[in-house]
């Protein structure tokens, strides 16, 4: 009996062991098969992706790179000769105050080389004539003023003469300048003020000049800088446009522009700086279509590319002596004539 029970028990254990082994074998086989299936799926997925990529269905083309205008190393627009090439110095968006000062002064130095003959473009022989001519230059060209003032000063050579003038006769002379009634009132009024308050002499102080009819800070600095040799910044329309293009300042108010730009330069440079900037604005860096391709300071200008960059096309945009045309003064300084500049014709000529 004991032997039979023992044999039965052994057979039972042996059966369980065989079932376990079979089950383990089946599990291993299943896992191996699953692994093969997974690998096959991955391979199929990769093949599908590769096929799509080869057809271009799943890959988008990168947009074409935008062309960026690059300033030439050195453009030349001189009357005579050329300058050696210089490295392009584009200011970064976060230009430091020190870097701004250096760039601004470098621009002024290079403009001084381009316009060594720069001067006030109004004909005058004394402070009174310059004061009157500057008042008349509002909303018109210096050329038109220069063509008009010879008749005015021939008839009214002194403040006393103009103060006592018949307004209708003065209006007729000043008609070519535009706004002739308002300008007549201003020049007669300032002449009377000179006679009554300053003994017929033009004062040499800013605070006195701005009290005269029709005289603001811009006019006062023109007179102080060019008739009295006292430094001043002339913020006219050209000056305002260029200093913003060059990122010297973002201000739009003339007084704030004057203060911002004045802080970049020593006071002794102010008058000549004004001439250099204004001359460049009239001849090359125009408001609507700057001649970028003919600009001698293109390598320093952050606004390069706003205008015509083709050198030959840009050359056709140059004005006055830079384009081979007459200047604005009927009687320009000898240095201007020596540099190749041409005097302007009188009113009614040609």
**Contacts with 182 (C-beta within 8 Å, 6 or more apart), sequence order:** none
Match 């009377």 to its residue by tokens: 192
Among candidate residues 262, 308, 269, 313, the one with its CA nearest the CA of residue 289: 308
Query: Residue 54, exposed/middle/buried by CB under 10 A (0-12, 13-18, 19+)?
Result: exposed
Most distant CA pair in the chain: distance in Å? 159
Among candidate residues 320, 342, 324, 347, the one with its CA nearest the CA of residue 332: 342
The length of the chain, given as a count of residues: 350
218 is catalytic: yes
- Please give the Cα distance from 62 to 65 (Å, whole number): 9
- Give the gyration radius of the chain's Cα atoms: 41
What's the helix, strand, coil split of the chain in %, to 5? Answer: 55, 0, 45
DSSP collapsed to 3 states, 190-249: HHHHHHHHHCCCCCCCHHHHCCCCCCCHHHHHHHHHHHCCCCCCCCCHHHHHHHHHCCCC
Among 123, 142, 183, 218, the one annotated catalytic? 218
**Contacts with 249 (C-beta within 8 Å, 6 or more apart), sequence order:** 243, 256, 257, 260, 261
Among 236, 269, 272, 322, the one annotated catalytic? 236
- Helix 254-262 and helix 217-227: axis angle, to 10°? 40
| Alpha carbon 335 to chain centroid, angstroms | 29
Contact 220, 210 (CB under 8 A): yes
**Which residues form the catalytic set?**
218, 236
């Amino acid at each position: 009996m004991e032997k039979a029970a023992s044999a039965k028990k052994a057979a039972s254990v042996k059966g369980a062991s065989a079932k376990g082994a079979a089950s383990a074998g089946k599990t291993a086989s299943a896992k191996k098969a699953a692994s093969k299936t997974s690998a096959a799926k991955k391979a199929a997925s990769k093949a599908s992706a590769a096929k799509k990529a080869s057809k271009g269905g799943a890959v988008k083309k990168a947009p074409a790179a935008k062309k960026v205008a690059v300033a030439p190393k050195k453009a030349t627009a001189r009357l005579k000769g050329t300058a050696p090439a210089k490295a392009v110095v584009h200011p970064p968006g976060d230009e430091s105050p020190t870097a701004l000062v250096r760039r601004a002064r470098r621009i002024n130095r290079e403009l001084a080389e381009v316009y060594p003959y720069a001067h006030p473009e109004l004909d005058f022989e004394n402070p009174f004539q310059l004061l009157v001519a500057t008042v008349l230059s509002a909303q018109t060209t210096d050329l038109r003023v220069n063509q008009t003032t010879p008749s005015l000063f021939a008839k009214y050579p002194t403040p006393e003469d103009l103060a006592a003038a018949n307004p209708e006769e003065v209006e007729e002379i000043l008609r070519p300048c535009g706004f002739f009634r308002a300008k007549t009132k201003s020049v007669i009024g300032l002449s009377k003020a000179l006679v009554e308050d300053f003994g017929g002499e033009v004062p040499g102080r800013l605070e006195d000049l701005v009290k005269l009819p029709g005289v603001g800070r811009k006019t006062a600095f023109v007179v102080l800088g060019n008739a009295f040799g006292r430094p001043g910044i002339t913020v006219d329309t050209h000056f305002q446009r260029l200093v913003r293009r060059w990122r010297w300042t973002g201000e739009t108010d003339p007084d704030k522009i004057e203060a911002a730009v004045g802080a970049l330069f020593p006071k002794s440079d102010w008058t000549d700086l004004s001439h250099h900037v204004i001359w460049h604005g009239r001849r090359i860096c125009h408001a609507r279509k700057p001649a970028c391709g003919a600009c001698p300071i293109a390598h320093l200008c952050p606004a390069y590319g706003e205008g015509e960059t083709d050198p030959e096309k840009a050359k056709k945009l140059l004005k006055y002596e830079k384009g081979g045309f007459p200047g604005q003064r009927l009687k320009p300084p000898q240095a201007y004539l020596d540099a190749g500049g041409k005097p302007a014709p009188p009113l009614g000529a040609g």
